[in-house]
Amino acid sequence: MYTVRFRATQRDLRTDRIMKAVAKVENIGFAVVISFNTEQEPTLEYLNKMAKEIENLPPVNCKYFSNVRPITGMRKIVGGN
């Protein structure tokens, strides 16, 4: 089993509107790491496809992800559940 990780910015639609109108600032958010496990070793093509899919997820409670990039150097989990 492999752990796949992505670095992203978690943004909020409400904050985006306020910051853009008041301070003319964009891309405000929290740096986050998104991770999940997969059975097979993922290819670079798969990682890039997943990054785009994460960015295209619809906002939930006004929160969404941008600037999603795969973190290279996947970890293989040995003997896990």
Where in the chain are the domains? 2-72
Structure pTM? 0.79
In whole angstroms, give the CA distance from residue 9 to residue 77: 26
Distance CA(57)–CA(47), nearest Å, equals 16
pLDDT digits (tens, 9 = 90+) for 30-62: 999 999 998 998 999 999 999 999 999 999 999
Question: For residue range 61-81, what is the model confidence (pLDDT) as tens digits?
Answer: 999 999 999 997 656 666 655
